[in-house]
Chain A
């Protein structure tokens, strides 16, 4: 059974710092991996999607990497800002049903 784990559960950093969020999954047979952002009272916003054949994706200050063989992904946020404060969720798609299997998330606080 696929399990997704995110470490740390919470993170507090000063503004401007570069940071890395970690995601691990137990079964390497995935179709893709997605990183989402969740703000209180709002839905999930897709940040980056990495297909199983890809190693990384970049969008602005965000870079996500995928190492399928070791079952790991990282989300790198450069020059963090207070507006980056949110919960970040990692999810894998395993199988052709489109079902996302989520980690518990990392709650990030960026202090001004």
Chain B
């Protein structure tokens, strides 16, 4: 089954404790991205990656890092989480570079930073 998976699905952590949210897709997509969803602000892009070793900032990259060492994986790293990063996070992938812009989203990771 074609899918985007994220782990963990739920996470409660404390300020300053480094964490990584993993994202993996099995569709051989080159394009992957991360969004956060907040009440009243909607979904906003954090980072995106056009291909392996190619990443770029979205609209709200502050406080986040990403890496793309393999095509299938695109982890989101919070080196020193703060309460304002409490949010619902979504990873997405698409075959954009092959001309198919439809984006497939993961199930989301609900993060709470206390």
Q: Do residues B43 and A43 form an inter-chain contact, with CB atoms below 8 A?
A: no
B49: nearest chain-A partner, CB-CB: A98
Q: In the docked arrangement, what's the CA distance between A34 and B43, Å?
A: 14
Write out the residue numbers on chain B whose beta carbons fall within 8 Å of the beta carbon of A79: none
The reply on B15 being an interface residue by CB < 8 A is no
The tally of CB-CB contacts under 8 A between chains A and B is 57
Interface size on A, residues (CB 8 A): 23
| A49 and B42 in contact, given A98-B94, A99-B33, A99-B48 (Cβ under 8 angstroms) | no
Query: Which of B92, B105, B108 gathers the greatest number of chain A CB atoms within 10 Å?
Result: B105
How big is chain B's contact interface, by range? 20 to 34
The reply on B102 being an interface residue by CB < 8 A is yes
The smallest beta-carbon distance between A110 and chain B, in angstroms, is: 23
A105: nearest chain-B partner, CB-CB: B42
Q: Do residues B90 and A98 form an inter-chain contact, with CB atoms below 8 A?
A: no
Interface residues in chain B, defined as those with a beta carbon under 8 Å from any beta carbon in chain A = 4, 31, 33, 35, 40, 42-45, 48, 50, 56, 58-59, 90, 92, 94, 96, 101-108
Ordered by A's residue number, 20 sampled pairs between the chains whose C-beta atoms are within 8 Å are A32-B101, A34-B101, A34-B103, A41-B108, A42-B107, A42-B108, A43-B4, A43-B106, A43-B108, A44-B92, A46-B105, A93-B101, A99-B33, A99-B45, A99-B48, A100-B43, A100-B92, A102-B43, A103-B42, A104-B40
